[in-house]
């Protein structure tokens, strides 16, 4: 199919409002089904109405979930005390907020999702590379969250009705657990199938409910421990010396990697923002503060479980199952449901739905992409990724963080350094435009990603029996970099990309428009 507007004639200029929000003129994007569908086109200005509260509520809903609880309590299980764990998580979320705001800027200004923004740096076809990497990670996360949610339902309902764990087994798990997993999976997809507006409404009321649930769990364990004192008295097994830092740095990268996924695809949400102020204040108020407070709750409760039961219970579902109160179990069940649905839909379905739509706009829309995400999330067997805190934090999050940090470095460098936030909006949808590069691929972005990615994750290693990598690392020479994967990927990806782009003759300024775009 050919574009409505011929690629060799200039498209109608974009329309800009006083707040700097840009909107496509009618017909400017053309109708090439390889690159255009309704879900990928910019959100019209009149539909960009998410406020500061909407973004704050979004982050509250996403941060208050079982896997983020397991991050904080997992650090306690690894030997940190509550002060060390909270410090690690607070620092990580302050650090990851910066790329979140930088990539989020394009959303309110242009109304475009992440895969369309990636076309500026990787090319119209090349954008499928980072989009599919992000989609693959999101599908895995969707499976992890869904498994944890289904497992929570299984444990809590088993406590209420009894006998569930003794059911006959399929694939090594009780069939009742598989039923809970499938029902929870179906519930999530039913909600997201209704679209982004339904998600916004769900997040608005889910956020405060989950906070109440976490506070109730804290009150219960405090009562069981006989006061707050025992929660704070659990000593660090690492100290602050040589035993602490080898655990701290990979843990810090793991905490950053937890939201490094959103630092890429946050334009999927900020494209609905009423302006830059809404996304900046909403994210700043919602992400670091909420994650830090939730970390405090998590480590206090985990420390309390150690004081009460003699071992740190880093899974809140297993801890809640310790009670024999039916009302308490039902309340915990509802809290687990809402918390897991809240984060899973926002963080792990929205992005791959847009990413897969970008891959084949003619046949995949937002809803179809969401269904594909649900299927792939089951196929990756998520129950294996959360088996131990070492595997969860160091292996899974470390490798993911290194790759996504590299992509984030390229996107941020392109948008802020090369383009200086100026994009030719119609060309993001039109073949043969300025973002077509070589047959739709920017080879410089691909080269920066490959080199940065290898440097970031090439040294990935595992302790004997603790993971899939060799003890000396995949590439032993790069082993020292593995504990800093996200930072290495972000820094190397951005520096390599800028260097390669500035060295390209095609980017020499030729006029005012090109100079503003860095081309």
Q: What angle do CA 66, 239, 461 make, to 5 degrees?
A: 60
Torsion (CA) 415, 420, 421, 423 in degrees, nearest 10: -80
Q: Is the dihedral of CA 190, 195, 199, 202 positive or negative?
A: negative
Residue 370, helix vs strand vs coil: helix
Q: Can you say whether residue 421 is alpha, beta or left, with left for phi > 0 and alpha for psi between -120 and 50 degrees?
A: left
Q: Which residue has the tokens 């020499």?
A: 508
Contact, 93 vs 285, CB < 8 A?
Answer: no
Contact, 430 vs 117, CB < 8 A?
Answer: no
Q: Is the dihedral of CA 259, 305, 181, 191 positive or negative?
A: negative
Got the DSSP string for 291-340?
HHHHHHHHHHHHHHHHHHHSS----HHHHHTT---HHHHHHHHHHHHHHH
At residue 392, the pLDDT reads 54
Rounded Cα gap, residues 485 and 348, in angstroms: 22
Rounded Cα gap, residues 365 and 415, in angstroms: 26
**What does the pLDDT look like over 138-191, one tens digit per residue?**
887 788 888 878 887 887 788 777 777 777 888 777 888 888 888 888 888 887
Contact, 264 vs 408, CB < 8 A?
Answer: yes
Measured CA to CA in angstroms, residue 436 lies from 22, 64, 375 at distances of: 21, 41, 32
pTM of the model: 0.80
Helices 397-412, 114-122: inter-axial angle, 10-degree rounding: 70
139 Cβ partners below 8 Å, 6+ apart? 348, 352, 373, 376, 377, 380
* Per-residue buried b or exposed e for 297-326, using 16+ beta carbons within 10 Å of the residue's own CB: bbbbbbbbbbbbeeebbbbbbebbbebeee
Closest listed residue to residue 437, CA positions, set 506, 368, 357, 345: 506
At residue 516, the pLDDT reads 38
Rounded Cα gap, residues 300 and 297, in angstroms: 5
At residue 229, the pLDDT reads 56
Closest listed residue to residue 398, CA positions, set 390, 386, 408, 409: 390
**What does the pLDDT look like over 383-392, one tens digit per residue?**
666 555 555 5
For the chain, the average pLDDT equals 80
Cβ-defined contacts of 357-363 (< 8 Å, 24+): 357/37, 357/39, 357/40, 357/115, 358/40, 358/113, 358/115, 358/116, 358/127, 358/128, 358/131, 359/128, 359/131, 359/132, 361/33, 361/34, 361/35, 361/36, 361/37, 361/39, 361/40, 362/33, 362/34, 362/37
Residue 259, helix vs strand vs coil: helix
15 phi and psi, to 5 degrees? -105, 130
Residues in the chain: 519
Residues of the chain with confidence (pLDDT) below 50: 1-8, 507-519
At residue 5, the pLDDT reads 40
Strands 15-16 and 22-23: antiparallel
Rounded Cα gap, residues 100 and 256, in angstroms: 11
At residue 6, the pLDDT reads 42
Residue 170, helix vs strand vs coil: strand
467 phi and psi, to 5 degrees? -175, -175
At residue 414, the pLDDT reads 96
């Amino acid at each position: 199919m050919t574009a409505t507007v011929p690629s060799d004639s200039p498209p109608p200029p974009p329309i800009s409002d006083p707040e700097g929000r840009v909107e496509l003129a009618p017909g400017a994007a053309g109708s090439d089904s390889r690159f255009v569908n309704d879900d990928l086109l910019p959100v019209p200005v009149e539909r960009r109405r998410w406020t500061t509260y909407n973004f704050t509520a979004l982050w509250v809903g996403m941060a208050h979930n079982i896997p983020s609880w397991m991050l904080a309590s997992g650090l306690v299980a690894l030997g940190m005390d509550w002060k060390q764990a909270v410090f690690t998580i607070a620092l990580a979320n302050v650090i990851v907020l910066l790329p979140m705001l930088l990539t989020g800027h394009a959303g309110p200004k242009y109304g475009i999702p992440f895969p369309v923004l990636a076309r500026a740096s990787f090319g119209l076809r090349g954008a499928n590379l980072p989009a599919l990497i992000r989609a693959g990670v999101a599908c895995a996360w969707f499976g992890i969250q869904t498994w944890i949610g289904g497992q929570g339902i299984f444990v809590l309902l088993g406590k209420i009705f009894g006998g569930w764990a003794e059911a006959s087994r399929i694939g090594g798990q009780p069939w009742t657990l598989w039923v809970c997993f499938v029902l929870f999976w179906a519930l999530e997809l039913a909600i997201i199938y209704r679209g982004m507006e339904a998600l916004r409404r769900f997040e608005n009321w889910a956020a405060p409910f989950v906070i109440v649930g976490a506070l109730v769990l804290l009150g219960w364990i405090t009562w069981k421990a006989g006061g707050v004192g025992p929660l704070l008295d659990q000593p660090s097994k690492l100290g602050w010396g040589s035993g602490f830092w080898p655990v701290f740095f990979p843990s810090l990268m793991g905490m950053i990697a937890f939201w490094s996924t959103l630092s890429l695809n946050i334009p999927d949400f900020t494209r609905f923002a009423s302006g830059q102020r809404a996304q900046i204040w909403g994210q700043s108020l919602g992400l670091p503060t909420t994650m830090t407070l939730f970390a405090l709750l998590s480590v206090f409760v985990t420390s309390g479980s150690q004081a009460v039961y003699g071992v740190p219970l880093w899974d809140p579902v297993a801890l809640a199952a310790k009670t024999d109160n039916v009302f308490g179990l039902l309340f915990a069940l509802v809290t687990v449901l809402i918390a897991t649905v809240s984060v899973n839909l926002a963080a792990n379905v929205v992005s791959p739905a847009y990413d897969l739509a970008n891959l084949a706009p003619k046949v995949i829309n937002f809803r179809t992409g969401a269904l594909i995400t649900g299927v792939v999330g089951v196929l990756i067997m998520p129950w294996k990724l959360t088996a131990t805190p070492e595997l969860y934090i160091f292996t899974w999050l470390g490798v993911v963080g290194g790759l996504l940090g590299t992509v984030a470095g390229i996107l941020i460098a392109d948008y802020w350094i090369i383009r200086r936030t100026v994009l030719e909006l119609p060309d993001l949808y039109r073949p043969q435009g300025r973002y077509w590069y070589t047959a739709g691929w920017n080879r410089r972005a691909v080269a920066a990603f490959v080199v940065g990615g290898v440097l970031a994750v090439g040294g990935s290693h595992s302790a004997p029996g603790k993971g899939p990598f060799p003890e000396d690392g995949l590439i032993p020479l790069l082993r020292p970099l593995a504990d800093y994967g996200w930072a290495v990927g972000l820094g190397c990806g951005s520096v390599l990309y800028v260097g390669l782009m500035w060295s390209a003759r095609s980017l020499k300024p030729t006029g005012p428009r090109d100079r503003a775009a860095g081309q």
